[in-house]
Amino acid sequence: MLENTGFRAPARQPHSSTENHKATMTRPVTAVVSVADIRKSFLDFFASKGHTVVASSSLVPGNDPTLMFTNSGMVQFKDVFLGTDKRPYVRAASVQACLRAGGKHNDLENVGYTARHHTFFEMLGNWSFGDYFKRESLKWGG
């Protein structure tokens, strides 16, 4: 549930004036950003908004007999949403390792055929446990 909250991936800067000159004279510069840079920028942005950065939980949830695998970024916060757990923070940001293994919204037949369907992926998420809502978060996209 990542809403448009103003996150911007960092742009790659040219290494030299020659590279910059070549890029602007021959073709538009295409930013090359590593996955690690995207993760870090995402987490840094939400940390600057008062979110606690929470590490990815296991792909096999240890305390949830209803799930075989972690299939979304909210799994580690399921008990918070159900009201059976309270965390020492009200804002969280995470990069959760997930496994697509079928289920209610099963689209496994698309894995390997489209650029956006994978069996393993990381879900970037920002969470508010009653601290802010859509109206407040939309201001960050400004």
* pLDDT score recorded for residue 71: 83
Residue 53, strand partner residues? 93
* pLDDT score recorded for residue 1: 40
Q: Which residue has the higher pLDDT, 7 or 117?
A: 117
Pairing of strands 91-99, 120-128: antiparallel
Strand order in the sheet with 120-128: 52-54, 91-99, 120-128
Query: How confident is the model over 62-119, as pLDDT tens digits?
Result: 888 888 888 889 999 999 999 999 999 999 999 999 987 665 556 666 677 777 666 7
* pLDDT score recorded for residue 17: 52
* pLDDT score recorded for residue 91: 97
* Distance between CA atoms of residues 125 and 72, nearest Å: 9
Residue 3 pLDDT > 50, yes or no?
no
Using alpha carbons, select from 136, 69, 59 the residue that is nearest to residue 103.
69
* pLDDT score recorded for residue 25: 58
Where do we find the tokens 């920028």?
41
Its pTM stands at 0.69
